[in-house]
Amino acid sequence: MTKMTKTLKIALVGNPNTGKTSLFNKLTGLHKKIGNYPGITVHRVSGQFTLDDGTQIELIDLPGTYSLHPTSKDEEVVLKELLRNTEGIDGILVVADVTNLKRNLILLTELQDLGYPVMLAVNMCDEMQKKGIQIDVEQLRKHLQIPVILVSAKKSRGDGLRQGKGRIHQMKEMIPQMFDMPSKEYFRNYNLTGTNIDFITPDYPNENLYKLWLLYTEQDKFNAYIKENYPKIFDLPFNKTTIKRLLQKEIVKRYKDINHILKDTYKVDKSKATGLTDRIDRILLHKFWGLLIFIFIMFLVFQSIFTWAALPMDWIDGSFSHTAVYFKTHLPANQLTALLTDGLIPGIAGVLIFVPQITLLFLFIALLEEMGYMSRIVFLMDRIMQPFGLSGKSVVPLLSGTACAVPAIMSARTIENAKERLISMLVTPFITCSARLPVYTIIIALIIPEKDVFGFVNLQGLVLLALYLLGFVSALISAYVLSKVIKSKYKRFFILEMPEYKAPILKNVWITVWDNVKAFVFGAGKIIVAFSIILWFLATHGGDKFANAGHYYQMEQTAGNTALPDNLSAYKLEHSYLGQMGKTIEPVIKPLGYDWKIGIALLTSFAAREVFVSTLSTIYSVGNDDEQLLRERLASEHNLITGQKTFTFAVGISLLLFYVFAMQCFSTLATLHHETKTWKWPVIIFFYMTGIAYISALIAYQLLK
């Protein structure tokens, strides 16, 4: 009979930037599940691997944290999970950076006091020689009284990793024997006597004292949990100033103990260091040259995204167009075929066409992160972005937004602080993306003369640059406003580690790209496809005049209707549900200088901004979206009532401002929903941006008409 082995749940815990994720990927590979903790947007990742004896290990990768006294939402997740242990965690594998071992051990000692079986993996051991570091692993084990291993998550193979899996057997033996729980003596050792918490132990004699201490000091995060399980804690006097002073004493005592341990086990001899990091950083972190190099690197990244993504994007667009034509030709002409060829296939194409850009963007982000340069970007930009309520890492989604807001919003995942991450996502749609360019170019060509100013600067190009700058400034101003509106109970602490420069681990890069592309396709993609089908239905269905369009069109031709479109397709679109919606909103958009035809283009551009151009082509009977032909048709269009040109300078400026500010892309809304796990913020930012767009367009038209 085969003996059943228990699946052990091991939590992977460590400071940010210690290589925790790399080690997780090395142990579990692609055998992992990614989700979210209930009610929050912090990612929950777990994976499995098997020990030599057949024991199944479920590895739970908790968010990076510096301490069990949280200063961010991510750190709060770790504390809540370890105190409540809803996952049924059996032991903890702590990952520490060999170059910052002292600070990393603070978290380890807290976990030991909490009573968990702990094992220490000192990562990046391949950097020891470069940094002149020596570690006496055996002495470190004796001092900490836990298994300790040296590993390098960067290397594909190594004794450290194999030894690490073997050491987990020791954790198995420790699991039934929880560490001795801290007693009152613990508080005397940390100079915390008289904190009142030691008086509550008679009420909870079998409870871990450090757990009670954490619940007491962080009780604002555990109100419901304490009320249900430890109500006596609320009976204790609570003074924030006193608690802060006691927590400082605790940290000081921990550092003293850690210094004593490392004195005999951890040596750093700078004279033996062979690394180039410090010399490289003198250039890359320079106030002027470092910023210039960063701008140049970002320029290369986004130029690559534009140029390299163009070919596969065109191929995807063409392939799906040919597929739709093929099915139209070979399938019966009915509603099901129309749904497939005009709704479902374009909807799927609208998802997959973003994949090349998303893939390239996250490829570059992963490479920069793996090589250690991303931390330098954060350092350089944090001082500039901080006054606006943003992080140094916010520059990545903001710059990425010039290509497409969809992958740009997803790239904000790298921002640890929840408030800064949310603000970065919400203001990214203000950045002018590539989809706005067709709208800008055709309207600029209509209202701005093609001439030079100062003899060498093209006026149309200058206007286009002004629109880009207006979007970026609007993003920063909106970020500042949101930073005052969105409240956070966490203070902002800028703690940044500068990792060593190293060659990227291609497996980690691949996993990062794959996870993000898959998340978009199966997350936001579902919403985009659904909305595309809804738009198709509204544009291809209508009342009696739509159903019998041929008859009514011929009648109105015979009657000499001068407002009649040039072809039947435009007539049907006018009398579709979408067309009727355009006429319904005409009174609302008329103060902006728009008629119902422009209203239809505004509505259809919710699918994607560039649809504005193709919709105008259909309405004005051009037959295709050739810009030259469409521009001529729009320039000659006159209002039948006033006799004036439809696209005047005032109307053109109004439209440009509307598209600078408006949230005219449902893919962006769907991605915001996917990233925030709520419709609250997408709805708020939609009305916020639409409101600014409407007011600015209204003022511009009324002043210029």
**Read out DSSP for 31-73?**
-EEEEE-TTS--EEEEEEEE-TTS-EEEEEEPPP-S-SS-SSH
Average pLDDT (390-416) is 77
Last residue in a domain, options 111, 142, 174: 174
Give yes or no for a contact between 535 and 578, defined as CB atoms under 8 angstroms apart: yes
Q: What CATH number should be reported for the domain holding residue 72?
A: 3.40.50.300
Average pLDDT (306-315) is 78
Residues 29 and 98 in one domain: yes
265: in domain: yes
Residues 27 and 141 in one domain: yes
SS3 404: coil
Q: 571 phi and psi, to 5 degrees?
A: -65, -45
pLDDT of residue 511: 77
> pLDDT digits over 520-536, tens only?
677 656 766 776 777 77
268: in domain: yes
Q: Compute the distance between CA of residue 87 and CA of residue 119 in angstroms, rounded to an integer.
A: 18
Residues 65 and 99 in one domain: yes
Residues 207 and 74 in one domain: no
Torsion sign (Cα): 425, 428, 429, 433:
negative
Lowest mean pLDDT, pick from 49-53, 587-591, 619-623, 700-704: 619-623
Asked if residue 124 has pLDDT above 60, the reply is yes
Average pLDDT (242-254) is 78
Residues 254 and 151 in one domain: no
CA 484, chain centre distance (Å) = 21
Q: Which of 393, 68, 1 is nearest to 250 (CA)?
A: 68
314: in domain: no
Asked if residue 97 has pLDDT above 80, the reply is yes
Residues in contact with 20: Cβ distance below 8 Å, sequence separation at least 6, in sequence order:
12, 13, 14, 61, 64, 95, 123
How many structural domains are present in the chain? 2
248: in domain: yes
Q: Which residues of 271-285 are buried (b: 16+ CB within 10 A; e: fewer)?
A: eebeeebeeebeebe
CA distances from 237 to 216, 226, 243 (A): 10, 15, 11
Asked if residue 46 has pLDDT above 60, the reply is yes
Residues 161 and 188 in one domain: no
Residues 163 and 42 in one domain: yes
pLDDT of residue 180: 37
Q: Is 140 exposed, middle or buried (0-12, 13-18, 19+ CB in 10 A)?
A: buried
Asked if residue 658 has pLDDT above 90, the reply is yes
Mean pLDDT of the chain: 77
Residues 16 and 103 in one domain: yes
57: in domain: yes
163: in domain: yes
Residues 98 and 44 in one domain: yes
288: in domain: no
Residues 66 and 170 in one domain: yes
Give yes or no for a contact between 608 and 350, defined as CB atoms under 8 angstroms apart: yes
Average pLDDT (583-588) is 88
Residues 66 and 202 in one domain: no
Residue 56, domain extent: 8-174
160: in domain: yes
Pull the structure tokens for residue 639.
């209002």
Q: Compute the distance between CA of residue 320 and CA of residue 326 in angstroms, rounded to an integer.
A: 10
Last residue in a domain, options 219, 250, 272: 272
Last residue in a domain, options 272, 300, 323: 272
Pull the structure tokens for residue 429.
């749609």
Residues 23 and 160 in one domain: yes
Residue 597 or 108, more confident: 108
Average pLDDT (471-485) is 91
